[in-house]
Structures are given as structure tokens and as C-alpha cells.
Chain A
């Protein structure tokens, strides 16, 4: 007779598996839950045991296409189906699942087993490789960002040309990709071109392509980016940096929706949506005669201004958490948060490089930090030019001190205007007044409501 391992040794075996495993009985209640499942879902075993599996697993298919139910009904196992679960922190975790039927020694059905593998790291790498970013990758709860989120779906649904204006590093391409991914063109190509990176002649052949024999060494025909993006979206970054000659060619594409590849005898019609971006003041360029006015009005159908990070500081903690979790997955680290001192430094920083700068700072920190909290010495040295009075030494800031500093900064940035400061902090003005009184803050003489004469 075969010797079955004891339930204790089965638990030890299950805990040693890197994949999450749980079993259910015939009433869909959890009967075992291994350590990896605890880690991936963030739920302690003792809380999961005996609970309905859908309330523990919280997957995208629990309600409509339960894999375990299907396996038990059909007798067929499901292998490596990709879904997502929502962990206790509210993060969407991509996983692959496999299911099987559980039978007792007599061969009677007693429940089912589901194993699942965390694909977060893989998804992060894929995102990096294929740049498959979606709307949910744009992080922000500040008022200016909420205003953009409100109009983004309608903009995406239209076919209008969009001009994204924002400083370098604000994520203009991310917005362009989000618009494409929300539009009906999402099944077709999104082609990004950095207009400033290529000389004029090269940019022309890149955008419009060429026919075989168009010039020496043009042995084969090459489709341009517009042709590649047919029925999709072309994103023209740094549009303010293209030459007047190129502006004329681009105007024709936008007006007539046709392209003329080099060496072609006939124009080719194209069906593309054009999204452009710039960090330059195009109106100023027009006045200086550097940018065609007619092209400006062609690309300026819908204008989205992406605010610089220094104007939406309330998004910094949210972005910090987002990047920490991203780099945790990429570098396989277990960094929980940043220390109070680091938060103070980052909140006080002006981020001339915007979100990209914050992302780079956090990547630097994650690489150097072995785990736990990111401390000051993990930050790039140029971020700490001198001793910061609030963060030097081992002094840990209290919540009150942090709040005091943050509110003072916000009031200063709004030139003393309390209403604007309250808006920037995302709180009601009366809450701000209460906090000013409670924290004993000294207010600037100028209240920011009137201009100085």
C-alpha cells in the first residue's frame, strides 16, 4: 500500500514552492493556502482559511469565468491562463494560473487546486521592451491631472489632431500612447518619431519613406512611418524643432492626408491620427518666424498642457510609491517605502527634469538600497548639496514637522495665496487655515491675492 505524506509534511512541501497554491473544498472554501500565496495576495493564511475562494483570490475571472469551476465541471485542467488579481494594497497583479481536480484515495472528488505565478516582473520588462503603457500608468490625483483625465477619453475617441505641451520629462509620450490605446485605432500601430533627433533629409525619408532607386543606395523600397502607422497613430515629438521646409511637407500631410515617398510618381493616401508634442512656446516661434502659423493651427486642434511636477507636488508621494513598486519588480528587491527625511528632500526638490528625474532618482535609490526603507545616503549625491537643516544626522522628523514644512512650501510656492495653496495641497481652504493655526505657522506679509504696486 502506498504511503501518503502527512498533512504537516504536505504543508511544508507547499510552502517551499515559489508559486502560489491554494485548495478549495466542494463548497469553494479555502482548505490550504501556501506561503507564496500569502506573499502574492498579501493575505495571511489564517485569514484566508475557510473563506470563499473568490473573496481571497479576487481575480478578474472569479465572477464570470471561474477556472476552478470550469475544471471541476469539465474534468479538464487549465494551464497557464493569464489573468490579474487585486492584492490587499489595491495593486493589479498579473498572474498565470493552472487548475486541477482534487480527489481522495477512493477517487472521489473533494475539491480543486489552483496554482498561480506572479508575472509582475515579466510584465514590467515587457512594458519596458514594447512600451505598452496604458492610461493607468499615468499617475496623479492632483487637480490639473484630474482635469486631463476627465477629457482624455473624449479626446481619444475623436480623430482630432492633438498638441501635447509640457516640459521635458513630464511624460508627453505616455499621454500620446494612452490616447492611442484608448482610441478605436488601438489595434493598429503607434509610431513615435523624435523630430529633433534626425536631420531634415533623414527625417523626410523616415516619415514618408522612399521608392527603390530614389537615390544612390536606395536598392529596396522603404515604407515611411506614416505608412507603417496606417489606421493607427503617428506621434511627432519635438515638433517645434523641425525646419521650415519640413513644416511645409508636414502641412500637406495634415491638410490632404497624403504622403509622397521619395521617388514616387503618385501621392499615397494615409489614414493616420497625428499627435504632436513640444516643450517650446510655439506662439513665440510663430512671432519670430520660426514656425508656420498655418501648421500651428493644423496641429493645435486639441491642446493638452501637461503640468510640470513642481506644480503638482501632491502627486510626488503617489509617484514615489508607483516607482518603488516598479523598480522592486524590476530589480527583485523588497523596498517598503522612503524614510521621512527622503520624503522631505523629495518634496522640497523642484524637479527641473520632472517625472523622469524623480524616476531616475528612485531607480538610483532602489539599486543602492538593499531593502526596507530608502534612506538619504541612497539618493544621488547631487540631490543633497549641503546639510539640510531638517534632515541632517539621525533626526527623524515627526509627522507634525513634516506637515509644517510641506504647508510652508506650498504657501511660498503660491506667493502667499492661501486659497491657491489649499488647492495645491488638495485640501479645503478652511482645513488649511485650521492647520496654520494648529501648527503655529508664520505667514508671509503678502497674501498673494493682490499684485504688488
Chain B
């Protein structure tokens, strides 16, 4: 299973719509088997969508994301775990151990507002 994480300076990028870098992590039996960086510089809405499909991403972990973008990604059967913040490695670890729902990984203002829409993420 492939999980994409929008990254910026070792942290989760604040806005997926304009993020320039995607870390693609491949998991097998709960273990990381591959990590690659995908460049998203200067690509528009549709190309961004197309790139996720090309990479065969199943789950996207990102910061803030606009509704049209989120809807479009979900319609491609990609699960979106949005409004996540923190250091990438910590977030990845939390995702692997099913602790990504902890409030420390939630962006400010998203607690209890239904801002996060996802199921528990254990690969």
C-alpha cells in the first residue's frame, strides 16, 4: 500500500493545494519497503490529481486542503487524512501505530469541528 504525505521542511506541508513536495511511502505488512520524493512544483489541480493516481496512492496525509480538491481526490478512491500537522517522521509513526487521531497531530481549530474526516489509519 502506498501512502503519500505532503511535506515541507520535514514537517507536514500546511496547504496541500500548493504543496511542492510529496513523500511516497510504500508499506508491506506494516513495514516500510520504499520511500520516494515526488515533485509537485508548478502543477495544476488536475495534474496534481493525475499524479496521485499515477503513483497509485491509497492514502493521502496532508495539512489543510480545499473542499473541491479533497472531493476530487476522494472520488479517485484515495482516502484523505487532512488537517494533520507536525514532523513527518512522528506523523508516520503515529499513522503506523494508529495514533494519528491524537490531538497533537491536528491543525489548530480542527479539534471537535469535524475538520478531520478519516478512518483509523493502520496499513
Contacts and interface: CB of A to CB of B under 8 A. Distances in A.
Contacts of B79: none
Contacts of B111: 47
A90 B18 contact: no
Nearest to B19: A63
Nearest to A48: B108
B15 A90 contact: no
Contact of B64 (A58, A64, A146, A153): A58
B46 A54 contact: no
A153 B46 contact: yes
B14 A55 contact: yes
B109 A41 contact: yes
A141 B74 CA distance: 10
A59 B15 contact: yes
B109 A43 contact: yes
B17 A48 contact: no
A19 to B, nearest CB: 19
A210 to B, nearest CB: 40
Interface in A182-219: 182
Contact of A88 (B20, B46, B50, B115): B115
Contacts of B108: 43, 47-48, 51, 55-56
B85 interface: yes
Counting chain A residues whose Cβ lies within 8 A of the other chain, the interface size class is: 20 to 34
B66 A91 contact: yes
Nearest to B13: A63
Interface string B108-122: 111101010000000
A55 B107 contact: yes
A149 interface: yes
B75 interface: yes
Interface residues of B, number: 32
A133 interface: no
Interface in A3-46: 41-44
Nearest to B9: A63
B83 to A, nearest CB: 8
A88 B109 contact: yes
Contacts of B20: 63-64
Interface string B11-28: 101110111100000000
A136 interface: yes
B20 to A, nearest CB: 6
A58 B63 contact: yes
A351 interface: no
B13 A90 contact: no
Contacts of A43: 108-109
Contact of A60 (B11, B18, B46, B85): B18
A58 B68 contact: no
Which 3 pairs, one residue from A and one from B, show the smallest C-beta to C-beta distance? A43-B109, A90-B67, A58-B64
Interface of A: 41-44, 47-48, 51-52, 54-64, 86, 88-92, 135-136, 141, 146, 149, 153, 182
6 contacts: A41-B109, A48-B109, A60-B15, A60-B17, A90-B64, A90-B70
